[in-house]
Amino acid sequence: MNNLKFSVIFLFGVLVLFSCDNTETKKGRFLLKGNEKLKENDPEAAVEFYTEALLIDPNYKDALYNRGLVYQQLNKLEEAISDFSAILMVNPTDSLALFQRGVGYMDNGEYYKALEDSKNLLSNLPKSWKGHFLSGLILEKMKNYSEALLAFDNSLELQPDNPEVLINKATLHYYLKEFEQSEISLDLAQKLNPSEPNIYNLRAMLSFEAKDYAKALEWIEKSIKLNPKEAFFYNNRGLYLIYLGEHEKGLEDINYSLKQNPKNLYAIRNKGIYYFYKDQKELALSYFEEVYEKDPEIELVKEYIAKCNQK
């Protein structure tokens, strides 16, 4: 199980005017080439083209913004934050850059800086759902679930038909063990966007809580079909496979997820669960203790530490 992710890729295009302004034409071409590479699922090449555009004009907002988004996609958070900060140096009220930098700070564990960006966003655009949504995401990461839920409700007041907010609200209800409320928010989100993979990931998590492991596997397979690139879906599938007795298949998924993000505590925990069921309890315990040291509240960890220590 894992936290849901929220990411929006805004692809800025430009109308390249073939005029006497050769600088504008050149940087615009590099921007468009970067966008094409991103559509072709080649983010590294996209970064190279955006960088070429920025060599021509270091303050080129569209290239800075797009490169920042790609850096986030590549988990290069310091670089992403730097690009969004460059935009905000020129225009401190830029709402797109404020939102994405806030997400970058949040993903980098700099929660108070992220909250500052969300406050600035709310101050600049008090009628926008995004500021409340960003606040909710950060408070969720900080495990302040009651305030996060209030922030999501404020966001939904401004934009009631937003599936991303509904999914995150459903996730909070899940964390609070309010499973019926979670299902209600998921049902609304699914009506609005039935192709959103995070809906089925959370349905899988709810099925796992109900100990219906076969149904959990069915739901997570749907998530992976909709988005085969999301590493934490594979981690979740690995857990369900282990509980269904398919230990080696489960480990394969967990290792794949860890390769994408070696710091994912849920994947480290799941690897411990694999070794527990392979009767390698000392090795399993080393994984559980690593997770417990960093986040003692992650579910199942205390339970499995106790199991490993049983004589």
Predicted confidence (pLDDT) per residue in 70-108, tens digit: 999 888 999 999 999 999 999 999 999 999 999 999 999
Reported as a single tens digit per residue, the pLDDT across 9-40 is: 344 444 344 444 577 788 999 999 999 998 89
The matching CATH number, chosen from 3.40.50.11740, 2.40.50.140, 1.25.40.10, 3.40.50.970, for 166-233 is 1.25.40.10
Domain 98-156 CATH class label: mainly alpha
The H or E element containing residue 82 is helix 77-90
Q: What percentage of residues in the chain have a pLDDT greater than 90?
A: 86
Q: What percentage of residues in the chain have a pLDDT greater than 70?
A: 93
CA distance 29 to 14: 9
CA distance 189 to 211: 24
Query: How crowded is residue 39: how many other Cβ atoms within 10 Å of its Cβ?
Result: 10
pLDDT score of 10 = 43
pLDDT at 138 over 60: yes
The pTM score is: 0.83
Reported as a single tens digit per residue, the pLDDT across 37-51 is: 988 989 999 999 999
**Tokens describing residue 111:** 């929660």
Q: CATH topology for 12-91? A: 1.25.40
CA distance 93 to 257: 37
Reported as a single tens digit per residue, the pLDDT across 200-258 is: 999 999 999 999 999 999 999 999 999 998 999 999 999 999 999 999 999 999 999 99
pLDDT score of 263 = 85
pLDDT at 8 over 90: no
Contacts of 15 (CB under 8 A, 6+ apart): 28
